[in-house]
Amino acid sequence: MTRPLIAGLDGSAESLAAARWAAREALLRGSRLDLVHAEEYPTTATVPMAGPDVQRRWADTLLHETADDLRNRHPELEITTRRVEGRPFEVLSAEAAAAEMLVLGSRGLGSIVGFLVGSVGMATISATEQPVVLVRAPSLPDEETPAGLPHGDVVVGVDIHQSCDKLLGFAFDEASRRGATLRVVHAWSLPPTYSYASALEPDIQLDVGQRVTQALSNLLLPWRGRYPSVTVDEKSVAGPAAQQVLYAGDGAGLVVVGRRIRRSPLGGHIGHITHAVIHHAASPVAVVAHD
């Protein structure tokens, strides 16, 4: 049985954009969409301070109106709603455990393109081992979709020195469902021991670059065989990884990055590259947890 998608609602324009993105994704997967509101979302201008009864009525109205909006757009989509008591990151990560993915809204940095992921969003990503997709609100009020073309390219940033199976599996699957080109990006730099040698012998950087390119091709070879219908554009480039992924993801339908699962009292871990991408990418960003 296909597992549902979860969209977290908090009454913001960003969470509405996330719910609409999740509805389209659910249709691609033939899945149900579950709209979830956690009782303890932080109080904002959108959610004024009020008593418990008022808050519950507000949450129920939010859930029902959002579900009605999505049913009008996608009559064939199965949608459920529920209001759950508890801290948002705990509620959402628990709900996501039995789902295909969790979709959340993320605020743009004013006139600067990008995500501002608050403490709730970061805590939820760290606590969730299912893919978490972050979606920002449209830049214009009358836009129907969040930034990034719904069926644009899928971009994935990989590290050839780490296990990439979950990351590539998710990215290839998304590209296949969308009929989209998959653009695979690996950024590299010369090891410190090569610093002086490269100045004396320029061919060293060229040689390292060729070996990295071949390693990336070898990594992708079995995945090309599993997904023969997916057009793959692979690129290994010298430079900062986050910058290269952001550059490749400009205008993409989805940007996919990974985070290492860390089971410890310190909680989850979000690497600096993924941290930079989810804060600054304009397109929806999927964070895929992996060992």
Same domain? For 59 and 110 the reply is: yes
The whole domain housing 34 covers 5-136
CA-based nearest residue to 29, from 150, 151, 173, 172: 173
Q: Does residue 142 lie within any of the structural domains?
A: no
Higher pLDDT, 152 or 79: 79
Question: Do 74 and 163 reside in the same domain of the chain?
Answer: no
Give a yes or no: residue 9 inside a domain. yes
- pLDDT at position 49 is 59
Helix (H, G, I), strand (E, B) or coil at 187: strand
Q: Model confidence at 191, in pLDDT bands (50, 70, 90)? A: low
Among 76-80, 197-201, 281-285, name the most confident range.
Answer: 76-80
Is 10 within a domain? yes
Whether the per-residue pLDDT at 132 is higher than 90: the answer is yes
270, 260, 96, 176 alpha-carbon torsion, rounded to 10°: 110
CATH number, domain with residue 242: 3.40.50.620
Asked if pLDDT for residue 280 goes beyond 70, the answer is yes
Same structural domain, 31 and 122: yes
Mean pLDDT, range 31-50, rounded to an integer: 73
Residue with more model confidence, 25 or 200: 25
Phi, psi of 187 (to 5 degrees): -105, 140
For residue 220, is it within any domain? yes
pLDDT tens-place string over residues 149-187: 456 899 999 999 888 999 999 999 999 999 999 999 999
Buried b (16+ CB within 10 A) or exposed e, 34-68: bbbbbeebeeeeebeeeeeeebeebbeebbeebbe
Mean pLDDT computed over 232-242: 92
pLDDT of residue 147: 46
pLDDT reported for residue 66: 97
Is 33 or 281 the better-scoring residue by pLDDT?
33
Percent of the chain with pLDDT over 90: 57
Distance, first Cα to last Cα, the chain: 26
Mean pLDDT of the chain: 85
Closest CA to 240 of 248, 231, 232: 248
* Amino acid 59: pLDDT: 92
Could you tell me if 273 and 176 lie in one domain?
Answer: yes
Name the band, by pLDDT with cuts 50, 70 and 90, for residue 35. Answer: very high
- Kindly indicate the confidence band of residue 230, based on its pLDDT and cuts at 50, 70 and 90: very high
Helix-, strand-, coil-residue percentages of the chain, each rounded to 5: 40, 25, 35
pTM above 0.85, yes or no: yes
Quote the DSSP letter at residue 3.
P
Q: How many domains would you assign to the chain?
A: 2
> Which residues contact residue 151 at a Cβ distance below 8 angstroms, ignoring those fewer than 6 apart?
178, 179, 180, 253
Is it the case that residue 67 has pLDDT exceeding 50? yes
pLDDT one-digit tens code per residue, 82-113: 999 988 889 999 999 999 999 999 874 443 44
Average pLDDT over residues 44-54: 64
The whole-number pLDDT of residue 130 equals 95
pLDDT of residue 149: 45
Question: Where is the domain boundary, 110, 136, 162?
Answer: 136
Q: What is the pLDDT of residue 113?
A: 47
For residue 231, pLDDT beyond 80: yes
* Stretch (H or E) spanning 251: none
